[in-house]
Amino acid sequence: MRYDTPVYFCRQTDRSYNYETGDYEDGTVTEELRFASVENTKADTLHLIYGEMRQDSVTIHLQNHYDKPFDHIRIRDKKYKADYTRRLRMKQSFIVSEVVA
């Protein structure tokens, strides 16, 4: 297994109100880079997690645990949401599906 794909764990802050201009300002997105092994999710795992076949679902394997809160995961230019996570002794895996926005 190669851990060579850059995976970004993204956290978005809430919009804030600017009293000087009277407008809402967009929140900022902070990203934290981890390198992971990314592969397509197998058919039997898709049936187990979702109960159906779902496209654009991938499995992410990390060598270490990721404990910080995050809103979504970005791989290349696609956004994913974590549907299932499993923590092993030293590793962690995520099953994620693409967010269409």
What are the extents of the domains in the chain?
Answer: 5-13+24-98
User: ∠ CA 1-51-94 to the nearest 5 degrees?
Assistant: 30
Helices (runs of H) and strands (runs of E) counted in the chain = 1, 8
* N-to-C CA span, the chain: 31
Q: Is the pLDDT of residue 36 over 90?
A: yes
Using alpha carbons only, what angle is made at residue 65 by residues 59 and 13, rounded to the nearest 5 degrees?
85
pTM for this predicted structure: 0.82
CATH class of residue range 5-13+24-98: mainly beta
The string of pLDDT tens digits covering residues 76-97 is: 999 999 999 999 999 999 999 9
* pLDDT value of residue 61: 96
What is the rounded CA–CA span in Å between residue 63 and residue 25?
Answer: 37
Q: Which residues pair with 7 in a beta bridge?
A: 34, 75
pLDDT band for 101, please (50, 70, 90 cuts).
Answer: low
